[in-house]
Amino acid sequence: MSLTTGTPGQAGNRPPQGDMHNDEGRALAQEFVQFAIASGVLRFGEFKTKAGRMSPYFFNAGLFDDGAKLGRLAQFYARGLLLEEKTSGLQFDMIFGPAYKGIPLVAAVAVELARLGRNLPFAYNRKEAKDHGEGGTLVGAPVKGRVLILDDVISAGTATRESIAIIRAAGATPHAVAIALDRQEKAVENGKDVAHSAVQFVTRELGLHVFAIARLADLLQYLAEVGKPPAGGAQANSDDSLQTHYQRVLDYRQRYGVD
């Protein structure tokens, strides 16, 4: 996809979206889905979402809760962001992690990006302002230039709007958001489903480039492939439970999904 520039906050001005749908991007997404399931971060069952829906799957990034899993997660973000730079022309000068989940995430991703040759400053915010020492709510490098916000998912865009306000107050430009998973489902406003997703709202209304390591479509592809019986009468090695999950997730996407 081509790179264009949107004005943050101006409706209808759509910022650039990368082409993570190329072969390398698709492979990365499948690898990430497999890792998230194996880590117990992506689970199947019945889960009530913030929107009040009963979802057949749940993604809880808080369960990337040891050094190995956090380090691997950071690798996916870093690899995806470098690929996004190459394929879409996305450019950013620093990364920002919103409290609280974004704090360890932004530090880990900064370390991994530096290891891959892209050394960037990073910062994060406190929930409560510090009234001694240096004071304030921001910690880390000075917030300036084009800022990439790191988060796990975008549920309603509230956390993103809070980060935008913090970044603008510091005199910098909120430029993009990187998330682990795009649920690709309709947002809820005033208790009713709307035609756009929370990610699309951030893109179209807030004017930010949104990058996701994987999307619901990638999860469906993974479930379909792993749960598929082998061809040619070979001994079955498919996971029947994954095929069951595939149908339930597909039904959910058909009811609530957006592209």
Provide the annotated active-site residues. 130, 132
Angle at 200 between CA 196 and CA 202, to 5 degrees: 125
**Cα separation of 214 and 101, whole Å?**
19
Q: Can you give the length of the chain in residues? A: 259
Residue 212 and residue 179 in contact, taking contact as beta carbons nearer than 8 Å? yes
Q: At what angle do helices 67-88 and 23-38 cross, to 10 degrees?
A: 160
Quote the distance between the C-alpha of residue 149 and its chain's center: 10
Which two structure tokens, joined as six digits, stand for 196? 């756009």
Burial (CB < 10 A; 0-12, 13-18, 19+), residue 229, is: exposed
Angle at 54 between CA 52 and CA 57, to 5 degrees: 125
Q: What is the largest CA-CA distance in the chain?
A: 71
Residue 105 and residue 73 in contact, taking contact as beta carbons nearer than 8 Å? yes
Residue 77 to residues 18, 73, 236, 245, Cα–Cα distance (Å): 14, 6, 34, 26
Place of tokens 């759509």: 14
Q: What type of residue is 81?
A: L
CA torsion 99-10-2-150 (nearest 10°) is 0
For residue 32, count other CB atoms closer than 10 A to its CB: 26
